[in-house]
């Protein structure tokens, strides 16, 4: 962090190569972020362009969800989990309505302020989606959070790409471990997904056989399981298993949108005033909405 005009800011400095000009991803990130004003999206204060560097001046946010979960192992307090997911969906709903995909959702790219405010960051791979039929590079999103359609070589994706990542992050916040921590390669990553959700076929996923990397004989045939069989803590949080299952759909068009997810029963107990906040107002802190110490109760009752 650096002090500018008495404010802590984070500087992202991109060195420019004389012969290359300004890196395209940096320009893309800057132009997209300049137009986004929302409390759940990191604020870009300024862009400083010199001959040698492009510097993006961001608001400073002291930690990210990855570090936060490292400090609170074993899964987050159910109330914090709900507030974090609510804010993540709020930020995504805002960008998706503007035809922008994030494309690299993972805990490291979700910043957490000391009051529990969550902000989407690192839009380096994001791009405006003006025409649904665009084909995009499939080399995006860290493998663990990458949806099966992208792993299988699909480049024809829309906002449902980000919703798979939401499901993975939701489960990681509940369970305290990554949902699909592949160890080797794309094949291994897909096997881990199919082990839980079932190996897809044309009946469950129309068009899967025509994806570039889909070879029916190369995958073990698994039948789908209940999510709590893979992640037992989903059974402790009311409505969590059902919501997670709406995000973790192999067939992209079946994934719940960010906007629809905010209406899910899982959020029915949130304080009503949280729904009345405008885009640019801070979501937290509010009286009684401060987040809780993150330790799972030993006597947590199982919700069946």
Q: 48 and 24: one domain?
A: yes
Predicted local confidence at residue 154, as pLDDT: 92
> Does 251 fall in a domain?
yes
252's CB contacts (< 8 A; 6+ apart) are: 147, 149, 154, 157, 158, 160, 161, 164
Cα 58 to Cα 228: distance, rounded to the nearest angstrom: 39
**Amino acid 55: pLDDT:** 84
> What pLDDT does 105 receive?
94
The pairs formed by 223-226 with CB atoms below 8 angstroms and a separation of 24 or more are 223/198, 224/196, 224/197, 224/198, 225/196, 225/197, 225/198
Shared domain for 227 and 118, answered yes or no, is yes
Q: 16 and 156: one domain?
A: no
Domain identity same for 72 and 22: no
Size of the chain, expressed as the number of residues it contains: 304
> Active site residue: 64, 70, 79, 104, which one?
104
Same domain, 48 and 116: no
Same domain for 180 and 221, yes or no, is yes
User: Is 47 in the same domain as 79?
Assistant: no
Is 79 assigned a catalytic role?
A: no
The reply to whether 36 and 73 lie within a common domain is no
Grouped pLDDT means (10 residues each) for the chain, 304 residues: 76 70 68 86 86 84 94 94 96 93 92 93 63 46 88 89 97 97 89 97 95 90 96 96 98 97 95 79 50 46 30
User: Residue 71 maps to which CATH number?
Assistant: 1.10.510.10
The domain tally of the chain equals 2
One domain, residues 150 and 268: yes
Give the tokens for residue 245: 């299952």
**Can you give the pTM of this predicted structure?**
0.85
286 part of a folded domain? no
Q: Which of 289, 298, 301 is nearest to 86 (CA)?
A: 289
Would 294 be classed as within a structural domain?
Answer: no
Query: Is residue 258 domain-resident?
Result: yes
Q: Report CA-CA distances (Å) from 202 to 185, 198, 213, 216.
A: 24, 13, 15, 10
Q: Judge whether 69 lies within some domain.
A: yes
Whether 240 is covered by a domain: the verdict is: yes
Pair of tokens at residue 63 = 């930690």
Kindly report, residue by residue over 239-257, the tens digit of the pLDDT.
Answer: 999 999 999 999 999 999 9
Domain match, 251 and 186 both: yes
Amino acid 157: pLDDT: 75
Residue 47, domain extent: 8-59
Domain boundary among 43, 59, 75: 59
Q: Do both 45 and 191 map to the same domain?
A: no
CATH for 50: 3.30.200.20
CA gap 52, 49 in Å, rounded: 8
Residue with tokens 């309505």: 97
Per-residue pLDDT, 293: 58
d(CA 145, CA 161): 10
In a shared domain, residues 122 and 259? yes
Decide if 1 is inside a domain. Answer: no
- 284 part of a folded domain: no
Tokens of 247: 């995000």
The 10s digit of each residue's pLDDT in 110-150 is 999 988 999 999 875 555 554 343 445 554 457 899 999 99
**Per DSSP, which regions of the chain are E strands?**
2-4, 7-15, 44-49, 53-59, 63-64, 100-101, 110-112, 118-120, 127-128
């Amino acid at each position: 962090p650096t002090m500018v005009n008495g404010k802590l800011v984070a500087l992202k400095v991109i060195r420019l190569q004389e012969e290359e000009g300004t890196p395209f991803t940096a320009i893309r990130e800057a132009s997209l972020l300049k137009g986004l004003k929302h409390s759940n999206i990191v604020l870009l204060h300024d862009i400083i362009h010199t001959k040698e560097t492009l510097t993006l001046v961001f608001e400073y946010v002291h930690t990210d969800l990855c570090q936060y979960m490292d400090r609170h192992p074993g899964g987050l307090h159910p109330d914090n989990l709900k507030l974090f997911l609510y804010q993540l969906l709020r930020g995504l709903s805002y960008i998706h309505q503007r035809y922008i995909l994030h494309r690299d959702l993972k805990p490291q790219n979700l910043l957490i302020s000391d009051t529990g405010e969550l902000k989407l960051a690192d839009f380096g791979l994001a791009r405006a989606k003006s025409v649904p039929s665009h084909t995009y590079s499939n080399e995006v999103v860290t493998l663990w959070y990458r949806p099966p359609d992208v792993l299988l070589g699909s480049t024809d994706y829309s906002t449902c790409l980000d919703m798979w990542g939401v499901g993975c992050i939701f489960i990681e916040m509940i369970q305290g471990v990554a949902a699909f921590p592949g160890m080797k390669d794309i094949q291994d990553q897909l096997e881990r997904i199919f082990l839980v959700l079932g190996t897809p076929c044309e009946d469950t996923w129309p068009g899967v056989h025509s994806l570039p990397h889909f070879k029916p004989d190369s995958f073990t045939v698994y039948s789908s399981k209940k999510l709590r069989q893979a992640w037992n803590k989903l059974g402790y949080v009311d409505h969590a298993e059902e919501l997670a299952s709406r995000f973790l759909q192999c067939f992209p068009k079946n994934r719940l949108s960010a906007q629809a997810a905010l209406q899910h029963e899982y959020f029915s107990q949130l304080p009503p005033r949280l729904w009345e906040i405008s885009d640019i107002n801070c979501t937290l802190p509010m009286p009684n909405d401060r987040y809780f110490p993150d330790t799972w109760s030993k006597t947590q009752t199982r919700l069946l």
